[in-house]
Amino acid sequence: MTVKGAERRILEAVAVDAIAAFCVLTSSAQQVVDRTVAVLSDGTRTELITYSDLLWQLALQPNTPLDPPRKEDLQQALQTLINQRLFALEAQRSPRPAPTDKQVADKVQETLGHFPSTAAFEQRLRQVGFESVKDDNFQRLMLQRLDIENYVSFRFESFVVVTPDEEKKYYRDTWVPAFHQRSPALLVPTFEQKQAEIHQTLTQQKVAASIERFVDEAKQRVQIDILFDV
């Protein structure tokens, strides 16, 4: 058996074991059998994505139905989690201090801000197996997500450089024409008045482009096995 073949056999065994060791989630009085949906491996580390992970992702998305979840939402959640796990695998190569309790608490409050009330959000959490925002498993989930966000910020945002020439070109070629189209009768703000906004826009564009390149390249070197069609 080749090395590649052996690695695949080991990965399949891990996946089978994970599926066999299923648990039962309670969602709106319906029982949902948890199972491994996807496995990612870079050859030395493995990340699993379970059906409950997908439900947890949907619970954090406002106006996304949970009972029952829509197929298209589950599929989108799977792609989102695959990308997150790609970052998680990469982050393990660069040990960093874990997020503090305050940072996790702030992240929870930020998430709550996307919902009408804490009670409404906690109702969604209970549908996918959490007791409340104080649930240890929910806190652990938020810590993991924050850790990935911190890694992305360090990995991509810290090294972005936007030059004054790029800012002026964007102002001249993109910002001003767009302003004229939106508000033809108004006086155009000066470059100096909009420079900080333009700098932020260009920074976000460069970060997004870097993240997209990273994900595309990571998918070429990481083995991703979809085990269950959601």
Query: How far is Cα 140 from Cα 147, in angstroms, rounded to an integer?
Result: 10
CA distance 47 to 225: 11
Average pLDDT of every residue of the chain = 86
Q: Quote the CA–CA distance of 49 and 94 in Å, as a whole number.
A: 22
- Each residue of 18-32: pLDDT tens digit? 433 333 343 333 444
Residue 28: per-residue pLDDT: 38
Alpha-carbon gap, residue 60 to 16, rounded angstroms: 28
Cβ-contact 194, 171 below 8 angstroms:
yes
pLDDT at 33 > cutoff 80: no
pLDDT of residue 225: 96
Domain boundaries, the chain: 3-156+210-226, 164-208
Is the pLDDT higher at 47 or at 9?
Answer: 47
Least confident span in 5-14, 130-139, 218-227: 5-14
What is the number of other CB atoms lying within 10 angstroms of the CB of residue 167? 20
Q: What is the pLDDT of residue 97?
A: 85
- pLDDT score recorded for residue 94: 79
- Model pTM score: 0.76
pLDDT tens string 91-128? 888 778 889 999 999 999 999 999 999 999 999 999 99
Asked if omega into 184 is within 30° of 0 (cis), the reply is: no
